Amino acid sequence: MDLCNEQIFLRMSGRVRYKTWNNWQEGMLTNFSLKVFDRASQEIFSKLSHNFKELKKVQRSGYKTDPKKWKNV
């Protein structure tokens, strides 16, 4: 999950291309669709509710967002 946040940060700061970001976003969707990953992330998110705000925003978008265009997280 920390890697996902790092990927989001890199896109927010314009350090990766849109195409690369979309590939990463597809990978996030694939991984978070796995039951074990989904259960683990739910537990982590509930225990660390103030962390991973950017990742939660990507998830809420259905993995169809561009952090580079975000105004507020």
pLDDT interval class at 68 (50, 70, 90): very high
* pLDDT recorded at residue 71: 87
Confidence at residue 60, expressed as pLDDT on a 0 to 100 scale: 95
User: What does the pLDDT look like over 1-49, one tens digit per residue?
Assistant: 889 999 999 999 999 999 999 999 999 999 999 999 999 999 999 999 9
* Amino acid (one-letter) located at 69: K
Flag whether pLDDT at 73 surpasses 80.
Answer: no
Q: What is the pTM of this model?
A: 0.90
Phi-psi region of 71 (alpha: psi -120 to 50; beta: other; left: phi over 0): alpha
E strands, 9-73, are none
